[in-house]
Amino acid sequence: MKFINFIGLLLLSAAFLNLTSCSDDDSDDPNTENSQENETDETDEDAVSDSISSYALWVITDTDDFSGLLMTTEDIPEGEVDPTTESYSLLGAARSAGISYGNAIYNPSNTSGDVGIQKFAYENNALSDEGFISVGESRFTFEVVSDTKGYYTDSERSRTAIQTFNPETMARTGEIDITDSINKYLTDDVSYTRLGSFMIENEGYLYTQVFYFNESGLHAFDSTFVAVFNVETDELVNVAIHPDYIWLGFERKNPNFIGKAENGDLYLASLVGNSTDQAHSRCLRILAGETQFDSSWKLDYNDIIGEEGSYSLGGPAVLDGKLYIRMKASGMATDYSNYTDEDLYAYEVDIDTQEATKIEDIPASSASSTYSVSGPVVMDDKVYFVVSNSEYQGYYAYDPTTGTSEEAFSFSGGIPSQFIEINE
């Protein structure tokens, strides 16, 4: 059997992730109830009790050029949904894992497919163009932390600074340069650096990853570096280091790989890691209000399936002390021979015991389409899992209180790419 060297896949991910999607959002993260609370706290106190939820769905229709549709709905859909009606057409929709903040959606590309932060105002179940900030590289990540402050990465502007923007005016406002702090770790092996892959705000801190690449395009160190900023002062407060390199998040789709618990703890997951072992999925934790990794907790997905090559395409969502993830039931074969198997299942993992349970009544998906990494989302105390296989496209809702699932809604076609809640 041919040996597959997974090392470089980290770098390769860069190329691929250019084509996939989206930014992240933490305080707006629809994956958790807590994020909704944070967001509304920061935006409009009066709106909290009167907030009305609407929903947005991204559907990829053509993987040849990543085009697709963005549709909104006032209620969680039921039955079969035809995304070709009442939808917003997006070029480059595969990049889209948009986030919601206030009554707007922020998408990592505009309708023409230009890369950048596109603000769509949401009103009366309709979207309108509220401004666009162009980003010079196809892979970037962003976050909105208040009505007037947001952050994003743009390696074409700088590989050692993050950019700031005003979501109200949708204009860039400046950058936070951390060159000195990054260069502190430079060695002769480092060929170039980059910031990004994920970006999330939590408890007043903004977190994003720092990469150090060597000439081969591999990460130069077997360590994970995360820059931590104070969003009040816009100052770097720490570079958190975990002694195992993991490519956290999923670039523009990072909301699907970052989960925030009700107590504010952050769970950061990824598909791939260092070059010394076979690619597999892992999850790290940063406790609420902390600027360092929680060294006492780490989840290795190989332990869940009991073999090498664990492969997760979405999650964790966090609810009541449980993580919810989508993962292949068996490890990815080193020659990818089981790559197209439809064995991507929903799992529930106890955070404390790390005991995992396969949710059997949710149909399996195929891992063959990494265009769809729509992660589990928590809405109305239920966890919504995407199901995408050759026969079916839609979402199932899992009720943790009963331990049962049922079909929420299906699509007449297309690949579900993202499902979020909009808070008006």
Partner 1 sequence: MPAKFIITFFCCFTFICVYSQSYIAGEVTDEKGVPVTGATVVLTNTTIGCVTDNDGSFKIDLPPVGSQKIEVSFMGYKHQYFPVFIKKDTVINLHIQLSPDNAAIGEIVVKGNSEDQKKREAPIKIEVLNTDKLQVKAVGLPQIINQISGVKIRQYGGVGSNTVVNINGLQGNKIRFFRDDIPMDYMGEAFSLSLVPVDQISSIEIYKGVLPVRLCADALGGAVNIISKQNDTNNLNVSFNYGSFNTQRATLSGYFEIPKTKIFTQLSSYYVSSDNNYKIDVDMADEETGNLREVTVDRFHSGVNSQFGEFIAGIKNTKWADVFKLSGAVFSIDKQKQNDIWMQEVFGEVMYYEDSKIFSGRYLKRFSKLNVDVFGAYSHLKTLFDDTPENTWNWLGEATPKEENDGSGEADDDVMSYRKYNWDYWVGRFFAQYDVNDHLHLAVNHSYTNQERVGSDPYAKTYGVDIDVLTIPAKYKRNISGLGVTADLFKGKITDEFTLKRYGVNTSSVESSSSYDGSISYLEDVGYGFGNSVKYTLTTNKYLRLSYERAIRIPEVEQYLGKSEDLIVGNPALKPERSNNLNVGFYTNLNRKKSIWLDWNSFYRYVEGEVVLQSYYTVQSQYNNVDDTKILGSEFTVKGKLFPDLDFNTAVTYQDIRRVNIQDSRYVLLKNARRPNIPYFFGNAGFHYHPDKFIGSGQWQFSVNYSYVEKYLLSSIAKSMEPDLFGSVDEDANLIPTQQVVDVGTTCKLHTKYPVWINLDVNNVLNAKVFDAYKVQKPGINYQLKIKCLIN
One of 296, 391, 401, 402 touching partner 1 (CB under 8 A): 391
Among residues 23, 40, 224, 393, the one that binds partner 1 under rule CB under 8 A: 393
289 Cα distance to chain centroid: 20
Binding region for partner 1 (CB under 8 A) out of 112-120, 283-291, 297-305, 317-325: 112-120
* Distant-in-sequence, close-in-space partners of 338: CB < 8 Å, separation ≥ 6: 328, 330, 332
Query: What phi and psi values does residue 62 have, to the nearest 5 degrees?
Result: -140, 110
The Cα 276–Cα 316 span in angstroms is 25
Using CB under 8 A as the binding rule, whether residue 61 contacts partner 1 is answered as: yes
Identify any residues that bridge with 282 across adjacent strands, giving them in sequence order: 270, 300
Assess 134 for contact with partner 1 (CB under 8 A): yes
- Told to check if 73 binds partner 1 by CB under 8 A, we report no
Is 16 a binding residue for partner 1 by CB under 8 A? The answer is: yes
Selected binder of partner 1 within 57, 97, 133, 317 (CB under 8 A): 133
**Amino acid (one-letter) located at 376:** P
The Cα 363–Cα 345 span in angstroms is 7
Question: What sign results for the dihedral spanned by CA atoms 230, 232, 233, 234?
Answer: positive
* Strand 53-62, strand 415-423: pairing: antiparallel
Stretch in the footprint of partner 1 (CB under 8 A) among 33-41, 198-206, 343-351, 388-396: 388-396
Q: Is there binding between residue 5 and partner 1 (CB under 8 A)?
A: yes
Six token digits for residue 251: 């670039």
d(CA 24, CA 253): 7
Cβ proximity to partner 1: between 134 and 148 the closer is 134
The only residue of 72, 138, 153, 291 in contact with partner 1, by rule CB under 8 A: 138
**Amino acid, res. 152:** Y
Residues 341-380 that bind partner 1 (CB under 8 A): 368-371
Q: Which of residues 252-271 bind partner 1 (CB under 8 A)?
A: 271
**Residue 320 or 335 having the CB closest to partner 1:** 335
State which residue, 84 or 125, has the beta carbon closest to partner 1. 84
Structure tokens at 236: 């770097």
| Residue 90 in tokens | 């997006």
Which H or E element spans position 286? strand 282-286
- Total residues belonging to the chain: 424
Map the footprint of partner 1 across residues 113-132, applying CB under 8 A: 113-116, 131-132
Contacts (CB under 8 A) with partner 1, residues 79-98: 83-85, 89, 91
Strand partners, 246: 273
What is the pattern of x (binds partner 1, CB under 8 A) and - over residues 307-336? -------------------------x--xx
Please identify, among the stretches 39-47, 133-141, 226-234, 301-309, the one whose residues bind partner 1 according to the rule CB under 8 A: 133-141
Note the helical H segments in 176-232.
Answer: 179-183
Q: Is 412 in the site for partner 1 (CB under 8 A)?
A: yes
DSSP secondary-structure letter at 273? B
The residue count for binding partner 1 (CB under 8 A) is 87
Tell whether residue 8 is a contact of partner 1 (CB under 8 A): yes
Does position 389 bind partner 1 by CB under 8 A? Answer: yes
Q: Name the E strands within 33-85.
A: 53-62, 67-73, 79-81
CB of 153 to partner 1, least distance (A): 12
Site string for partner 1, 147-186 (x = CB under 8 A): --------xx-xxx--x-x----xxx-------------x
The single residue among 339, 360, 381, 403 that binds partner 1, judged by CB under 8 A, is: 339
Structure tokens at 318: 């966090």
- Decide whether 198 or 205 has the Cβ nearer to partner 1: 198
In terms of phi and psi (left: phi > 0; alpha: psi -120 to 50; beta: otherwise), the region of 207 is beta
CA angle (300, 302, 307) in 5-degree steps: 160
Binding characters for partner 1, 21-60, by CB under 8 A (x = yes): ---------------------------------------x
Interface residue with partner 1 among 217, 239, 302, 424 (CB under 8 A) is: 217
Phi, psi angle pair for 221, to nearest 5°: -125, 150
